[in-house]
Structure 1
């Protein structure tokens, strides 16, 4: 079907072309409204975009970038108090109140703050950041030394994907002793133990490495018995995350394309990767996948944390009352023994101790992202230049020429 040419400057009148016949319904409508024909050139590709669309794309790009930064900061810093709460619940095998729902934690947190200072839920933040930075450094060194791809996006074959997974496994195995030391710092009570120095995580981590065989400290498990389940959890969670993210991206793209096809603003160039909507979809899929993985692997994380903390003589805050402390005394022989003992003594719900803290963490995460979106959107609208008036008031100032 014949159509229109370039309407990006539709305020400029088109001259009458006597050599062309009005053989199109849209051209006839244009003639009836404005009194002259339109030059019929190329096949109609869809309604033309105007400057409002460019501004909208820039606005979406700003929002996407702001959400990425806010999500990164929230995941690594602002979520730490909730991580402390959930870990304390997870390792406390004698906890009577499982805190599976969020509201049971609120009075306990209030008592903790009255009895201790405001930093009680920020303990171990330094060592946690150090371990995350150490993980990135180890991955970079191993990648440069072996040539294995560090980013999943650079894997163009099955061999490269396996190399990437191997790199992740090696990095997790190397940092496991330091992760154990960091875990102890995040769960131990401030009023029952001395506050660790910023670099104590390295000292404790190297001590766990030196005690590779049977450790000399009570019922502490040898580090080799903890490395395998820790690496298995990390790799399984990582593969599940990227798989679920890909599936979510496809679903969101299908929904977005379907909405565009039903609207007047559908554009054949929508599927291009340069479209800012692609980045927005990828970000949404990453957040959804992150939430799903935290929920699915929570019971396994509970068991792993109990293995890490065993034999470390750690004293944690009693989250039944919030006013006392209690030592962690366990004697698990391995992963399956910990699982069977937990099920037998605490029930299946024992694997979900502290789940309410995870709910609070995810709720705070989504709230910060939503707040960031609103703020950036409002600021972008305020800074957007005012629309200039059209030179001909008789031509309707619409986003598209025809509705």
Structure 2
């Protein structure tokens, strides 16, 4: 039993190996439960874990892995229709129905599907995936060129943390022109413009990048005026995400430790193979993602309007779902955009399309719940039947296993 330490002394009916050296430290909880002391050695760091618990923990590991995959797919693919809806609401400065609650969007989506095809809410998904891949490629290239850590987990000092944040800032700044091009493809109406080719995002992004100064098209803002607020939004969301995740992990681990202290036996896992810790990390990621999206929604509305200004984009009119409307605005920058929205549309104007975000988060959580239920049911079907164990009178006790 590699990885479990020497368990030969614990296979006996009453557990102790007479040849095993004892220690002055004993586990009082184990004595209360089983009626005898267990020596604490370098190989023993907690009360025993029965084999049934090991099987259940394997199932828990499968569930956690399946949920992680489902969450990744949902976040990057299945959430795209809701992202299209909320972005179209955010950039529409003349939208009368703000769609802050989800149910107002349902009849509009039904009319959109009747008037257009089923792919109307999947527009721009190719360019969105390309921009995400480009972001990862730029981060990798900058990390290899500078030696700065690409992952937050590899930061071992304050200096490395700031290097990691600087890497994120450079990456976001470099892909901002391509993000603008992808945003246009996401919100523009299919019936009022030609469908873009898959790699048009590179062409349009390079055009925005070359027009670093004053662009040639009308009221379009220069890309340097958009880079700073875009980087600030991205980095703020990232820092808030990792902060909330760390706080949530600490709270959940404290709650788990307190719950296990009241139950028998209390399980100790090695840090490198702890399914309970993986489950906590997953829950913390989901909570941090939801909180981050909700808190920065108004700022995202402002940033998207700055990106779309002057691009001559025509979007679906989400007041009716049966017409199209051009986007006309004349913001001078981030502060002017904020004050104009509050003055003309009210504070609620910053939350246009919030109902689409609610639907997105609800669908995300529902898919995770469904994945958990399916994997648990399959695991229960494939789980071998428990073998009967003898009574304590006959001296037959269930075998105990110890983690390092």
**TM-score (normalizing by structure 2):** 0.88
1:367 — aligned with what?
366
State whether residues 30 and 37 of structure 2, in contact with CA within 8 Å, keep that contact through their aligned partners in structure 1. no
Q: CA deviation at 1:390?
A: 3.0
1:376 — aligned with what?
375
Q: CA deviation at 1:293?
A: 0.1
What is the alpha-carbon distance in structure 2 between the residues aligned to residue 110 and residue 370 of structure 1? 26
State whether residues 113 and 120 of structure 1, in contact with CA within 8 Å, keep that contact through their aligned partners in structure 2. yes
What is the alpha-carbon distance in structure 2 between the residues aligned to residue 116 and residue 8 of structure 1? 69
What is the alpha-carbon distance in structure 2 between the residues aligned to residue 392 and residue 258 of structure 1? 31
Q: Which sections of structure 1, spanning at least 5 residues, go unmatched?
A: 18-23, 31-37
State whether residues 100 and 354 of structure 1, in contact with CA within 8 Å, keep that contact through their aligned partners in structure 2. yes
What is the alpha-carbon distance in structure 2 between the residues aligned to residue 264 and residue 392 of structure 1? 19
State whether residues 49 and 400 of structure 1, in contact with CA within 8 Å, keep that contact through their aligned partners in structure 2. no
The 3 A distance-change label for structure 1 pair 397 and 343 is farther
Q: Alpha-carbon deviations, 1:273-315, whole Å to 9, x = none?
A: 5322111111110110000000000000000000000000000
The 3 A distance-change label for structure 1 pair 349 and 9 is same
The 3 A distance-change label for structure 1 pair 112 and 39 is closer
Q: CA deviation at 1:210?
A: 1.0
Q: Which has the higher contact order (CA 8 A, sep 6+)?
A: 2
What is the alpha-carbon distance in structure 2 between the residues aligned to residue 76 and residue 105 of structure 1? 22
- Pairing 1:233–2:245 present: no
What is the alpha-carbon distance in structure 2 between the residues aligned to residue 264 and residue 333 of structure 1? 64
- Pairing 1:294–2:293 present: yes
2:23 — aligned with what?
none
1:319 — aligned with what?
318
What is the alpha-carbon distance in structure 1 between the residues aligned to residue 133 and residue 31 of structure 2? 63
State whether residues 62 and 376 of structure 1, in contact with CA within 8 Å, keep that contact through their aligned partners in structure 2. yes
- Pairing 1:42–2:12 present: no
Q: Which has the larger radius of gyration?
A: 1
Provide the aligned C-alpha RMSD in A: 2.7
**TM-score (normalizing by structure 1):** 0.88
State whether residues 31 and 38 of structure 2, in contact with CA within 8 Å, keep that contact through their aligned partners in structure 1. no
Q: Which sections of structure 2, spanning at least 5 residues, go unmatched?
A: 1-6, 19-27
Q: CA deviation at 1:399?
A: 7.6
Q: Alpha-carbon deviations, 1:81-121, whole Å to 9, x = none?
A: 00000000000000000000000000000000000000000
Q: CA deviation at 1:266?
A: 1.5
1:330 — aligned with what?
329
1:21 — aligned with what?
none
The 3 A distance-change label for structure 1 pair 247 and 29 is closer
State whether residues 52 and 399 of structure 1, in contact with CA within 8 Å, keep that contact through their aligned partners in structure 2. no
- Pairing 1:163–2:163 present: yes
The 3 A distance-change label for structure 1 pair 216 and 390 is same
What is the alpha-carbon distance in structure 2 between the residues aligned to residue 29 and residue 58 of structure 1? 25
Which secondary structure does the structure 2 equivalent of 1:326 belong to? strand
The 3 A distance-change label for structure 1 pair 42 and 120 is same
State whether residues 71 and 365 of structure 1, in contact with CA within 8 Å, keep that contact through their aligned partners in structure 2. yes
Which secondary structure does the structure 1 equivalent of 2:273 belong to? coil
Equivalent residues in 2 for 1:1-400, closer than 5 Å: 9=11, 12=13, 42=39, 48-267=48-267, 269=268, 272=271, 274-390=273-389
What is the alpha-carbon distance in structure 2 between the residues aligned to residue 337 and residue 49 of structure 1? 62
